[in-house]
Amino acid sequence: MEQVIYYPFIGLQLLLAIFLFYFILASFMGAPVAPSTNNAAKSMIKLARIKKGMIVYDLGSGTGKLLFLAAEKGAKACGFEINPFLVLITNLRALLSPYRGFVSAHWKNLWKADLAPADVVFTYLLPDKMSKLEDKIIRECKKKTIIVANSFIFNNLPCIRKDTKNHVYAFEVR
């Protein structure tokens, strides 16, 4: 009896395995995939006080929710995401949106991203990674860069605005 091989099924399983690998890898590198709630995302945008022409980075950008909200305000929004599937989703959404050219996502480990060009940086990492990120921010970001954190705070950056209801905090590099 001839054995039938189902290549599409094998391909689907392989894609799922790769997706799960990056999903788990993100947990070790900074945070698991945990999108900001709509209320928290809107608060993050509000606290950032984005103006037209600003450069906004999102560390662990997921499917780009904050990138698109920042682009609505006139920013050039760039996300760094370790999961290539989420990068693909964001870039496809950007291509099909009115924000083409203003929203982009890059398949990159946030720890290797150069933060120097950013005017605003969004983050939603686990508490045990915040100190390491704070050191990176202080080293790389220019003065007056606004860092907006969902849920977790920095110990050495001054908090300039906050929304305690949504657990969102804005800090400034000095």
Which domains are seen in the chain, by residue range? 7-172 (3.40.50.150)
Q: What is the pLDDT of residue 45?
A: 98
Residue with tokens 């860069």: 145
Comparing C-alpha atoms, which of 154, 149, 174 is closest to residue 164?
Answer: 149
Q: What is the pLDDT of residue 17?
A: 76
Full pLDDT tens readout for the chain, 174 residues = 566 667 776 777 877 777 677 666 666 665 567 789 999 999 999 999 999 999 999 999 999 999 999 999 999 999 999 999 899 999 999 999 999 999 999 999 999 999 999 999 999 988 889 999 999 999 999 999 999 999 999 999 999 999 999 999 999 999
Q: What is the pLDDT of residue 161?
A: 98
DSSP state of 15: H
Cα(148)–Cα(40) distance, rounded to whole angstroms? 11
Contacts made by residues 156-164, CB under 8 angstroms, sequence distance 24+: 161/47, 162/47, 163/43, 163/46, 163/47
Collapse the DSSP code of 163 into the 3-class scheme (helix H, G, I; strand E, B; otherwise coil) and give the result: strand
